[in-house]
Amino acid sequence: MRNEQKLTVVGAGPGDVELITLKAVKTLGNADVVLYDALVDPTLLQYAPLAEHIFVGKRKGCYAYQQEQINELIVSRAKTHGHVVRLKGGDPFVFGRGAEEMEYAAKHGISVAMVPGLSSAVSVPALQDIPVTKRGATESFWVITGTTKNHKLSQDVALAAKSNATVVILMGMGKLSKIVELFRQEGKSEMPIAIIQNGTQKNEKVGVATVGTIEAEVAKQQLSNPAIIVIGEVVRHRAALKDIAYGYKAKQIRVESKNSAHKTVLG
């Protein structure tokens, strides 16, 4: 008997397959069809062994399906197969268009549900020891799309540059020059900035610099999308941790050397 006509939008997390939630895994196990994105590791499809797997990924300049086609595919497969799982990278409600797909399905009589995922906006910096908030450094954070539906830089970036908040920008590498210029105009050329490419994955790359020097660092490391841009004092936490760890190890070495020398003198 065919399952209920249903769409469940599921967040797969930022990339590392171990960061998917238990609820997401259970949902995949109940899927009849899985539509998955380019930023989803195909290894996760093992949790839906009996389902039909359809790649509908979108990358800049490369579209397996247009969004309208994805919407229609969700509805058609739900009506012919039953439970459709729409598997998306990160969290589907953070610039993931999950809400739009749920609305479209609901308008066509399909029941809908959502399973949140770890958002790359928070988890990718965290795994590089960069918190988005830190007492004494920042009291809030912005998460902004670097490119609007009109392919322009969000006006919120200019507003965020005036604040003391941490600014996390997704899909912003193509607008990096404009982004750093807005921060320069606010006198923040020395503000630390980190760019994390392919976050949580084996081919992850990280560039850390200041607003004034980040473009040179990007060129040096050849950083590109998919990447997260983090701007704010919290970026310093990463280096501070390393300094603390280095200082502790150096202290331990001195203590061990002193004890060793003492034992030698005592014979």
The set of catalytic residues is 37, 58, 171
Q: Which residue has the tokens 């967040």?
A: 11
Calpha distance 190→141 (Å, rounded): 19
The radius of gyration of the chain from alpha carbons, rounded to an integer in Å, stands at: 23
Looking at the DSSP bridge assignments, the partners of residue 13 are: 90
Q: Do 73 and 54 contact (CB within 8 A), yes or no?
A: yes
Contacts of 204 (CB under 8 A, 6+ apart): 196, 197, 198
Q: Is 168 helix (H, G, I), strand (E, B) or coil?
A: strand
Residue type, 192: P
Other CB atoms within a 10 A radius of the CB of residue 258 amount to: 10
The CA-atom distances, in angstroms, between 85 and each of 2, 11, 26, 146 are 15, 10, 11, 27
CA 90 to chain centre: 6
Write down the number of H helices and E strands in the chain. Answer: 8, 12
Please report which helix (H) or strand (E) contains residue 214, including its range: helix 214-221
Residue type, 70: I
Calpha distance 69→61 (Å, rounded): 17
